[in-house]
Amino acid sequence: MLPIGSKYKIARRLGPIFEKTQTQKFAIRQQKRKPTRRRRAPSDYNQQLMEKQKLRLTYGLKEKKLVSYVKDALASSQDTIENLYQSLEQRLDSVVYRAGFADTRRMARQLTSHGHITVNGRKNNIPSMKIKAGDVLAIRGGSAKKPVFENLAERRSSYKAPTWLKADYKKMEATVSELPTVERNEFNFKRIIEFYTR
């Protein structure tokens, strides 16, 4: 798992990219923080770097892995941004998180690595595995009674999974109905692509 330092320190610089910093308390604390000096407007390079770091840390990727995703997206005949987003969202740990089986991305990575998730009925513990349309993810039978999955249907009663995922929490499974599409404007992918092609 990608080692990450103080999440609060990183979030103060890059924004609330970690679930534990996406709280009202953190937002209020940020508003109260007064800048000690007037900062210059960030350069184009700095903006690109920050956006790249934000993406990398959100998905918990090492630089080498992110570079490979970007290279594949640039080499693809599809739209570069759409292809990059799909590559990130089609990772097994990302789908586990988006499906609502885990509260955080790091938790999704851990559940996957420990073999609690099956893909099309077979146990898989590779977080970077590419999930395709039509694949069915489920919580392994032997893991379903563990505390982490206790009362999952109740806890996810108000959770809305992305449109490309059909989750059934009573059955503890989720089906990938189609390829992910860029539904959220969490990142400025244009700047990220510019960073790697400058």
Domains of the chain: 42-179+188-198 (3.10.290.10)
Q: Which amino acid is at 90?
A: Q
25-35 in b/e form (b: 16+ CB < 10 A) is: ebeeeeeeeee
pTM above 0.85, yes or no: no
Give the pLDDT mean for 53-58: 92
Q: Is the Cβ–Cβ distance between 20 and 38 less than 8 Å?
A: no
**DSSP conformation class of 40:** P
Q: CB atoms < 10 A from the CB of 127, how many? A: 20
**DSSP conformation class of 91:** B
Residue 150 in this model has a pLDDT that exceeds 80: yes
Residue 15 in this model has a pLDDT that exceeds 70: no
Q: Which amino acid is at 137?
A: L
Tokens of 66: 């992110």
**Least confident window among 4-8, 44-48, 56-60:** 4-8
Give the 3-state secondary structure of residue 130. strand
Beta-bridged to residue 168, according to DSSP, are 173
Q: Is the Cβ–Cβ distance between 128 and 92 less than 8 Å?
A: yes
Cα separation, 75 vs 123, whole angstroms: 32
Strands (E), the chain: 117-119, 122-123, 136-139, 165-168, 173-176
Q: Which amino acid is at 158?
A: S
Give the pLDDT mean for 138-159: 93
Residues in the chain: 198
Give the 3-state secondary structure of residue 74. helix
Tokens of 13: 């610089």
The reported pLDDT for the residue numbered 10 is 64
142 backbone φψ class: left, alpha, beta (φ>0; ψ -120 to 50)? alpha
Percent of the chain with pLDDT over 70: 79
List, for residues 82-120, the tens digit of each pLDDT value: 999 999 999 999 999 999 999 999 999 999 999 999 999
List, for residues 166-178, the tens digit of each pLDDT value: 999 999 999 999 9
Give the pLDDT mean for 172-186: 87
**DSSP conformation class of 116:** -
Give the pLDDT mean for 19-33: 57
